[in-house]
Structure 1
Amino acid sequence: MRVVSLLAIFPRWLALGLSLFGAQALAGYAPIPDGYVLLSSDTTNRYVVAGGARFFIPPAQWSHYSGASTVVLPQATINSYAEIPQEGTLLRQIGYAAIYVVVGEKFWWIPNPTELDYWDDWRTVNNIPNAGWSDVFYNYSYKVLVQERTGSQIYLYIAGGKYPITNASDLAYYGGASSVKIIPLGTLDNNTAEPWCGALLRERSSSTVYFFGTVSSLPGLYRSPVTATAHGEVPDGALNSIPVFTPGGFLSCIG
């Protein structure tokens, strides 16, 4: 590995970052080029930079980055850098073929070469460690309006579930047309109205919060009313396809 001084690369990378990303370049992102490895000066931790974000490299995968340039920094400085990359960053796990693009605070699968042609543009696909990298993206409270490229249907995406927006009232409630983000065509094919196990959701006009989980003796996902704060709200009627399990309190996310 070639060790590089942060002071040596900061001015030119800052200028490049500002020209490409504007103010976003200063939003907690590492002022270090993608592909560089950050070495902690007070621990043995190592991280690779992708889209200005830090990705922890498990010791077993250090050899994959043996040829990368490195920057030595205090762990506290490394911890201050973002964990979610900049919009448009392309990611691929070492040893896997699938490529993802970051849009909003979520990574979206690019399902075919046609879509990759659209999304890669001038960008480089960042090879990141294949362990633990996706955990930071699983935020149950994060919600976003999305529309697949060339598609017409707008969805609310929250906690792994997709919910069609079918009227102007819902569209305005969740942020309006200007907040809709375009994502790869086909990336939502495997998503349904079922959220991640453990989600707490309510419908927009209802005060009833449901916990989503499984029953050991039954297939599929169920919902059960609980007294809790919801991770978020979905359009009215969006949860109708998921059966209610009563009595409550017996759903889990184990097994």
Structure 2
Amino acid sequence: MKTVNGMSFGFSAVNAGQRNVAVEPQLIAVSTEGNFRMTPPVSRALGLSSGDYVTFLHNIDDINAAIDTKAEAYTSFCEANRLEVGSPESIIAIHKEFDMWAVAKGFVVYDSKGNTKTTTERLTKHDKLRFVSQHFEEMLASALENAPEEIKDALSREGVTKEEQIDILSSFVKPRELPKYKGSKTANPAGLTGTGTSLTFTDANVWKQLKADMGDEATKMNRVYTINLDEIQDISVDNGHEIITVKAYLLKEFVDKVPARVGSKEEGESEVEE
């Protein structure tokens, strides 16, 4: 670590690149129902790593409230556009004009008393087997000492294999109670860690809303939103206990594209000449 004028900057691991590509900052509602992909510049800007949470924000509830209460903003819009207040046409028009979506890093949610809400960790059979494999010696020793006699007999019977022991021990792996986050958990398909990687996540509800106008094309086309990283927004949100401010990027311009074929360049990537 080098120190200059009292400032120091440490090192962090860099993911090895396989291709020389320039990656556009994009959020992509892919053709698979409910699925999204975020390119590395966006995940880096939001400080997201695989396993973190990403959430969508919108102003639709405020617009609906203005319609329901016939607020001045809504009635003035109707008057300016010669639309009847309360008509289906006016509602469609004001949403088309003013609806906004944004994407932000997920945040912990609380109850009204300020206690962190929790959720039970999801564990697959594979997750349990992997955990036992990583902690095999200590789990085996503990089970041989503390488990019921039938379990001890099964673990120590003549000819038992390590794989069989791991399978038996997997039943002792219990999910943890974890803080509950607003949003969807991200993953990197290649198993890469750290910020600045391509991330995937699922949000079926938002996917349907963002692609509502596409009809049957929704599952045939990718809707690609270009993110302007120079236009970060401070947005106030309710975490269940208090109003907090999160950094977010607006989803503005988009194009609909046919998904790239397997083996071709992904959305957001273009070759860079040496």
Structure-2-length-normalised TM-score = 0.19
Q: Which has the higher helix share?
A: 2
Please identify the structure whose Cα radius of gyration is greater.
Answer: 2
From the two aligned structures, give the one with the greater strand fraction. Answer: 1
TM-score using structure 1 length: 0.20
